[in-house]
Amino acid sequence: MGMSGMYGPSSDAESIATIHAALDAGVNVLDTGDFYGMGHNEMLLGRALAGRRRDAVVLSVKFGALRAPDGSWIGLDLRPASIRNFLAYTLKRLGVEAIDIYRPARMMANGEVPVEETIGA
Protein backbone atom coordinates (compact mmCIF):
# COMPACT_ATOMS: atom_id res chain seq x y z
CA MET A 1 0.00 0.00 0.00
CA GLY A 2 1.91 2.99 -1.21
CA MET A 3 0.13 6.25 -0.42
CA SER A 4 3.21 8.39 -0.25
CA GLY A 5 3.87 9.60 -3.74
CA MET A 6 4.89 6.32 -5.38
CA TYR A 7 2.10 6.80 -7.89
CA GLY A 8 2.17 10.58 -8.17
CA PRO A 9 1.05 13.35 -5.82
CA SER A 10 -1.06 12.31 -2.85
CA SER A 11 -3.11 13.97 -0.14
CA ASP A 12 -2.61 12.88 3.47
CA ALA A 13 -6.27 13.53 4.27
CA GLU A 14 -7.43 11.49 1.28
CA SER A 15 -4.99 8.69 2.11
CA ILE A 16 -6.18 8.48 5.71
CA ALA A 17 -9.82 8.58 4.59
CA THR A 18 -9.05 5.71 2.19
CA ILE A 19 -7.49 3.65 5.00
CA HIS A 20 -10.51 4.36 7.23
CA ALA A 21 -12.90 3.32 4.43
CA ALA A 22 -10.96 0.09 3.91
CA LEU A 23 -11.03 -0.73 7.63
CA ASP A 24 -14.72 0.14 7.88
CA ALA A 25 -15.40 -2.19 4.93
CA GLY A 26 -13.75 -5.08 6.76
CA VAL A 27 -10.18 -4.98 5.48
CA ASN A 28 -8.04 -6.23 8.34
CA VAL A 29 -4.53 -6.55 6.85
CA LEU A 30 -2.49 -3.45 6.06
CA ASP A 31 0.83 -3.96 4.27
CA THR A 32 3.50 -1.31 3.90
CA GLY A 33 7.25 -0.91 3.71
CA ASP A 34 9.46 1.31 5.82
CA PHE A 35 10.84 2.68 2.56
CA TYR A 36 7.45 3.68 1.08
CA GLY A 37 7.65 7.43 0.95
CA MET A 38 10.84 7.07 3.01
CA GLY A 39 8.75 6.42 6.14
CA HIS A 40 5.85 8.73 5.30
CA ASN A 41 3.50 5.82 4.54
CA GLU A 42 4.06 4.42 8.04
CA MET A 43 3.27 7.81 9.56
CA LEU A 44 0.02 7.90 7.55
CA LEU A 45 -0.91 4.44 8.83
CA GLY A 46 -0.09 5.50 12.38
CA ARG A 47 -2.37 8.51 12.08
CA ALA A 48 -5.12 6.42 10.47
CA LEU A 49 -4.94 3.76 13.20
CA ALA A 50 -4.89 6.22 16.11
CA GLY A 51 -7.96 5.66 18.25
CA ARG A 52 -8.78 2.34 16.57
CA ARG A 53 -8.53 -1.10 18.13
CA ARG A 54 -5.02 -2.37 17.44
CA ASP A 55 -6.17 -6.00 17.60
CA ALA A 56 -8.61 -5.37 14.73
CA VAL A 57 -5.84 -5.05 12.15
CA VAL A 58 -2.83 -7.10 11.10
CA LEU A 59 0.15 -4.87 10.32
CA SER A 60 2.64 -6.20 7.78
CA VAL A 61 5.84 -4.25 7.18
CA LYS A 62 8.65 -4.87 4.71
CA PHE A 63 12.15 -3.66 5.56
CA GLY A 64 15.63 -3.44 4.11
CA ALA A 65 15.22 -1.58 0.83
CA LEU A 66 17.26 1.61 0.71
CA ARG A 67 16.31 4.77 -1.13
CA ALA A 68 18.25 7.91 -1.97
CA PRO A 69 16.83 11.35 -1.04
CA ASP A 70 15.39 11.61 -4.56
CA GLY A 71 13.46 8.36 -4.02
CA SER A 72 15.60 6.18 -6.29
CA TRP A 73 16.49 2.66 -5.15
CA ILE A 74 20.08 2.31 -3.99
CA GLY A 75 20.31 -1.14 -2.47
CA LEU A 76 19.35 -3.50 0.27
CA ASP A 77 20.56 -3.70 3.87
CA LEU A 78 19.72 -6.89 5.74
CA ARG A 79 22.38 -6.74 8.45
CA PRO A 80 20.94 -7.56 11.89
CA ALA A 81 21.99 -4.21 13.42
CA SER A 82 20.31 -2.36 10.55
CA ILE A 83 17.13 -4.42 10.91
CA ARG A 84 16.88 -3.57 14.61
CA ASN A 85 17.33 0.11 13.72
CA PHE A 86 14.70 -0.07 10.94
CA LEU A 87 12.29 -1.73 13.38
CA ALA A 88 12.77 0.93 16.06
CA TYR A 89 11.93 3.70 13.58
CA THR A 90 8.98 1.74 12.16
CA LEU A 91 7.44 1.24 15.61
CA LYS A 92 7.82 4.96 16.33
CA ARG A 93 6.31 6.05 13.00
CA LEU A 94 3.38 3.64 13.34
CA GLY A 95 2.84 4.51 17.00
CA VAL A 96 2.58 0.84 17.98
CA GLU A 97 4.47 -1.50 20.29
CA ALA A 98 4.51 -4.50 17.94
CA ILE A 99 4.18 -5.44 14.29
CA ASP A 100 2.38 -8.63 13.32
CA ILE A 101 4.39 -9.50 10.20
CA TYR A 102 7.89 -8.09 9.70
CA ARG A 103 9.77 -9.34 6.67
CA PRO A 104 12.56 -8.40 4.30
CA ALA A 105 11.50 -6.62 1.13
CA ARG A 106 13.89 -8.90 -0.76
CA MET A 107 16.52 -11.47 0.09
CA MET A 108 20.09 -10.93 -1.00
CA ALA A 109 20.89 -13.23 -3.90
CA ASN A 110 24.64 -12.90 -3.46
CA GLY A 111 24.62 -14.29 0.07
CA GLU A 112 26.26 -11.12 1.41
CA VAL A 113 24.18 -11.50 4.57
CA PRO A 114 23.18 -15.09 5.37
CA VAL A 115 19.42 -15.52 5.61
CA GLU A 116 19.85 -16.97 9.11
CA GLU A 117 21.36 -13.67 10.28
CA THR A 118 18.60 -11.63 8.67
CA ILE A 119 15.80 -13.71 10.18
CA GLY A 120 17.59 -14.00 13.51
CA ALA A 121 17.68 -10.25 13.98
Query: What is the structure's pLDDT at 63?
Result: 92
59 CB-side CA count, 13 A = 25
For residue 1, tell me if it sits in a domain: no
For residue 27, tell me if it sits in a domain: yes
Q: Quick check: helix, strand or coil at residue 42? A: helix
Number of domains in the chain: 1
Q: State the Cα–Cα distance between residues 73 and 120, nearest whole angstrom.
A: 25
Report in angstroms the alpha-carbon separations of 94 from 60, 108, 113, 115: 11, 26, 27, 26
Query: What is the structure's pLDDT at 8?
Result: 66
For residue 5, tell me if it sits in a domain: no
- Catalogue the active-site residues: 36
Q: State the Cα–Cα distance between residues 60 and 45, nearest whole angstrom.
A: 11
Query: What is the structure's pLDDT at 3?
Result: 66
For residue 46, tell me if it sits in a domain: yes
For residue 3, tell me if it sits in a domain: no
Query: What is the structure's pLDDT at 74?
Result: 87
For residue 4, tell me if it sits in a domain: no
Contact between 106 and 76 (Cβ < 8 Å): yes
pLDDT, one tens digit for every residue, the chain (121 residues): 556 656 667 788 998 999 999 999 999 999 999 888 788 899 999 999 999 999 999 999 999 988 888 888 888 888 889 999 999 999 999 999 999 999 988 766 555 666 677 666 6
Query: Residue 79's domain is classified under what CATH number?
Result: 3.20.20.100
For residue 75, tell me if it sits in a domain: yes
Instruction: Supply the range of the domain harboring residue 105.
Output: 12-120
